[in-house]
Amino acid sequence: MNINERIAALRKLMKEHDFSAYIIPSFDAHLSEYVAEHWQARKWISGFTGSAGTVVVTTDKAGLWADGRYFIQAENQIKDTEIELFKVGIPGFPTYEDWICHELKEGEKVGIDGSVFSVNDVKRMQHKFDENKIEIVSDFDLIDEIWTNRPDIPTSQVFLHDVKFAGKSREEKIEMIRTEMKKQNLDYHLLTSLDDIAWTFNLRSNEIQNSPVTISFAIIGLDSVHLFIDPIKLNLDLTSDLEFSLIQLHPYEEIIEFLSKLESGKTILIDPNRTNIKLKNAISKECKIVEKPHLTTLMKSTKNESEIANLKRCQIRDGAAMVKFLYWLDNNIGKIKITEMGAAEKLAEIRSQGENFVDLSFNSISAYMSNAAMMHYAPSHENETELKPEGFYLIDSGGNYLDGTTDITRTVCLGPLSNEMKRDFTLVLKSHIDLCLAHFLEGTTGANLDILARHPMWQEGLDYKCGTGHGVGYFLNVHEGPQNFSQKLIDVPFKPGMTTTNEPGIYKENQYGLRIENTLLCVEDRKTDSGQFYKFEVISFCPIDLDGVLPEMLSQKQKNWLNNYHREVFEKLSCGLAAEELKWLKNQTRKI
């Protein structure tokens, strides 16, 4: 079936269930950002391949809600379908809840699959729909009935993440969780987020592309631990190891029944943003439910001493791989045919040769000129552009290593640039530097700091329609909460040990896209009468292309930062480079 035929088949089922609308989100049963193919229902029904978005189908209309990262991509991918694009965050475009309320009449029903909607999402929709006397029915996965040959839930083998990399054993982490549970008078903690579970038990797998987690649920009790996972994924040694740690193993699908049989009067914590409504509804009515973020999320985001030491070494290897790739690109552009996919594959090949490499941390964004204006552009062998010795090339990439996860972006000047292009490149650099230079008081959040990166661009009437940076996991998801840099208020202050990307950019449709990204480690600064101050340490190392920089636009403080950064890049990456690569790096890190 093509996209319109799939929508027609869905409408037929909607009519049978008396649904006037049906909502298809991007999530899996764990509310993950990146999901296994089994749960990519929104992609299947719409053809839109971005990682975030929501589709709503009514009896006579269909809409896709996508954010600013995907406007151009979404328009291209749905142009031959009946689906209309609604731009999230742009004035004049309603939310999908408001749109449904406008399209439906009182008494009509909206269908959803409750296993892929969070508790908070359903609360928000319920509040809006109750005002308009519209009913939500959360019991039916209609996509499953029409998606023939739907992929199974993956069952890849699980392996231990050695404590020499993790820094703490699973027993130590469980004790940390229980200590916090006691403080909050909790009897149980339901863990649903895959990266939180992987972190807690020091388990990894490859069931989701570029995300080394395993599909499972867990319940931590004060005197018991339960892991719900398909037993086929555990070999005998790992099973014995987990049982030796007094972890009780259950089949994945038994989580619903287990929750329904919790002892009367017990208190259980669930994360309403990461727990689906089907799980909450399964919890025994005799239990008290506390809705707060997973206790593990903040613990996981604050890297321990071993993780930080390992990650710093990992970042140096990753930076050396970037240098080898950029040297290859600089010496071959215009001499041999290099496509976006070819360049990405070359970098992946170089990166894979590094110690402790496991996989890429996400599909590389390899984009030439106008393609880079799509923030999450994904080239393919069927649809890609050849690089030319002119203009900009953007490569956003990273690796998952046993000793860390990396995420770095460089915009490369392949040849002649206009004055406007150099101005924009320098503005992005100024924004990047100003955030790197931040000194801030304990208690400061990413929403407080985000303006530092946007300020240079706002002075020129420019902005980027996304956050400035995200937390990064440790041999886990490349996107990790709870902290970030964003205009959206997230009441999570920065703490020493948190790793967060700094990636401002400029994106001009049909022209070019620019981004410079490094990872920042929050560390302690000085303590004064005003309190404890923190700052950032840059832990990504790769030259920033000076051919795009207009030095006269930089303040002396910004020039000093750039020169000091490049000096450190050269010092840290020199070992292991060939003579010609080292000579190239010396020029790329020259003082301005």
DSSP 191-249: E--HHHHHHHHTEE--SBTTB-----EEEEESS-EEEE--GGGS-HHHHHHHHHTTEEE
CB atoms within 10 A of CB 531: 9
Phi-psi region of 224 (alpha: psi -120 to 50; beta: other; left: phi over 0): beta
CATH number (3.40.350.10, 3.30.1490.20, 3.30.43.10, 3.30.460.10) of 3-146 reads 3.40.350.10
CA distance 523 to 527: 12
**Which pLDDT tens digit goes with each residue over 196-246?**
999 999 999 999 999 999 999 999 999 999 999 999 999 999 999 999 999
Question: Higher confidence at residue 508 or residue 382?
Answer: 508
Instruction: Please give the torsion angle defined by the CA atoms of residues 562, 564, 569 and 571, in that order, rounded to the nearest 10 degrees.
Output: 160
Q: Is the pLDDT of residue 51 over 90?
A: no
Q: Which CATH superfamily is domain 159-300 in?
A: Creatinase/prolidase N-terminal domain (3.40.350.10)
Structure token digits, residue 572: 């840290």
Q: What b/e readout covers 208-229, taking b as 16+ CB neighbours within 10 angstroms? A: bebbbbbbbbbbbbeeebbbbb
Domains 3-146 and 302-588 share a fold: no
Residue type at 434 in one-letter notation: D
Question: Would you say 483 and 301 are in contact if contact means Cβ atoms under 8 Å apart?
Answer: yes
In this prediction, residue 173 has a pLDDT band, given cuts at 50, 70 and 90, of very high
Closest to 173 measured CA to CA, from 187, 189, 155, 159:
189
Q: Is the pLDDT of residue 426 over 90?
A: yes
Q: What is the model's pLDDT at position 465?
A: 86
Q: What is the model's pLDDT at position 72?
A: 86
DSSP lists the bridge partners of residue 24 as 55
CATH topology of domain 302-588: Creatine Amidinohydrolase (3.90.230)
Q: Is the pLDDT of residue 576 over 90?
A: no
Mean pLDDT of 292-302: 97
Domain boundaries, given as residue ranges, for the chain: 3-146, 159-300, 302-588
SS3 110: strand
Q: Is-above-0.85 flag for pTM?
A: yes
- Kindly give the residue spans of alpha helices, DSSP state H, lying in 339-409: 340-352
DSSP lists the bridge partners of residue 84 as 63
